[in-house]
Amino acid sequence: MDSSLTRVTGIHHITAIAGAPQENLDFYVGVLGLRLVKKSINQDAPDTYHFFFADGAGHPGTDLTFFPWPAMGPGRIGAGVWGEIGFVVPPESLDWWEDHLRASGVAPGARETRFGEVVLPFTDPHGMSLSLTGTGTYEDFEFTPWERSPVPEEHQIRALGSATLTVRSEEATTSFLGGAFGFAFSAEERGRRRYTVGEGGGGQRLDLLVDPETPAGKWGVGSVHHVAFRVPDDAAEADVERQIARNRGRSSGVVDRFWFKSVYVREPSGALCEIATDGPGFGVDEDMNHLGETLVLPPWYEAQRGQIESILPRITLPVT
Ligand code: ZN
């Protein structure tokens, strides 16, 4: 690998499609203990929310975002649609989490060992496939506990750990993810092929499952919409964009998302990827002590705020 090339440093955020917005809030804030760091709208469907959940300071690498679209049918993991999303927690917290999930009405799956780490799989109320990996390998990234979380500080989710993709054949996808983003093959175990960037710790992993028979995936309730990879700044993003072009990817050009700048591209099997800058972050338009408490609108929608607020479903933040 040419070390002079700019590489993505890990996962920036992951965006998924949820069912009813209140159920989505209740689960990610009330059960998983994440902080709602931004309450906004979908810029293409302003009558629907866009929620951003993260650690106490909204650090890149900790952020899972949702479009609650309950009218959409169920999604399906498969070719072109990302699968299980992994979070990382301290290894000694897995017993606490298993009890906590059960007490919250979530039946976790059987524990698995993957590459020497214990993984607890479970699904969210809208069928999204999630897991908690007990690992100490997230230390490279910044994490701020959320003091109003219902999850005690020592057990809180530290970061997004990994994303999973099922492909019918591997070559085109791995060549693209390697060439454009810098993911390199790390290890294989029981058909799970792990690709990593950087040190390969939590947040720096992609797992590929190869299944020539996998059905076409479908966006819908409970499916991932896209996985975003982080770069430190605009210059690094421009570099990665050039690498995408060299690897015959067609990207969107830079889209200003206010809290970060984004470039979108589909990898060869069709799964949507994004490159996002680490800054400026969620404090750019709100007081850090009051993130997510009021509806934040893109400037061009401000004139319609009254109408938008009257159409959006009523929601209340779970009391924690
Ligand atoms: Zn995104």
CA of 287 to the centre of ligand 1 (A): 22
Environment of ion ligand 1 (residues, CB < 5 A): 15, 228, 274
* pLDDT at 139 (0 to 100): 67
Q: What is the dihedral of CA 247, 183, 271, 168, to 10 degrees?
A: 90
CA of 92 to the centre of ligand 1 (A): 31
CA of 305 to the centre of ligand 1 (A): 23
Mind listing the pLDDT tens digit for each residue in 209-255?
Answer: 999 999 999 999 999 999 999 999 999 999 999 999 999 999 999 99
CA of 40 to the centre of ligand 1 (A): 13
* pLDDT at 152 (0 to 100): 98
- CATH superfamily, domain at 11-311: 2,3-Dihydroxybiphenyl 1,2-Dioxygenase, domain 1 (3.10.180.10)
CB 243 within 8 A of CB 39: no
Q: What percent of the chain lies above the pLDDT cut of 70?
A: 98
CA of 169 to the centre of ligand 1 (A): 26
- CA 129, 132, 136 angle in degrees (round to 5)? 150
How far is Cα 218 from Cα 168, in angstroms, rounded to an integer?
15
CA of 99 to the centre of ligand 1 (A): 32
Q: Let me know if 317 is exposed, middle or buried by CB neighbors in 10 A (0-12, 13-18, 19+).
A: middle
CB 292 within 8 A of CB 29: no
CA of 144 to the centre of ligand 1 (A): 21
pLDDT at 319 over 90: no
Domain parsing of the chain, residue ranges: 11-311
CA of 261 to the centre of ligand 1 (A): 10
How far is Cα 175 from Cα 3, in angstroms, rounded to an integer?
17
Expressed in angstroms, the distance from the first to the final Cα of the chain is 47
CA of 307 to the centre of ligand 1 (A): 26
Mind listing the pLDDT tens digit for each residue in 66-101?
Answer: 999 999 999 999 999 999 999 999 999 999 999 999
The residue assigned the tokens 């017993």 is 95
Query: Alpha carbon of 150 to those of 26, 188, 277, 281: distances in Å?
Result: 11, 36, 30, 24
Mind listing the pLDDT tens digit for each residue in 150-184?
Answer: 999 999 999 999 999 999 999 999 999 999 999 99
Beta bridge partners of 265: 273
CA of 257 to the centre of ligand 1 (A): 9
CA of 10 to the centre of ligand 1 (A): 14
Mind listing the pLDDT tens digit for each residue in 268-289?
Answer: 999 999 999 999 999 999 999 9
Mind listing the pLDDT tens digit for each residue in 3-41?
Answer: 467 789 999 999 999 999 999 999 999 999 999 999 999
CB 12 within 8 A of CB 276: yes
Contacts of 160 (CB under 8 A, 6+ apart): 11, 13, 14, 61, 62, 63, 64, 85, 86, 87, 88, 202, 203
Query: Alpha carbon of 81 to those of 22, 103, 119: distances in Å?
Result: 25, 31, 22
Q: Let me know if 120 is exposed, middle or buried by CB neighbors in 10 A (0-12, 13-18, 19+).
A: buried
CA of 63 to the centre of ligand 1 (A): 10
CA of 274 to the centre of ligand 1 (A): 6
CA of 96 to the centre of ligand 1 (A): 31
CA of 103 to the centre of ligand 1 (A): 32
Query: Alpha carbon of 181 to those of 71, 177, 225, 245, 246: distances in Å?
Result: 35, 5, 19, 11, 11
41's enclosing H/E stretch is strand 35-42
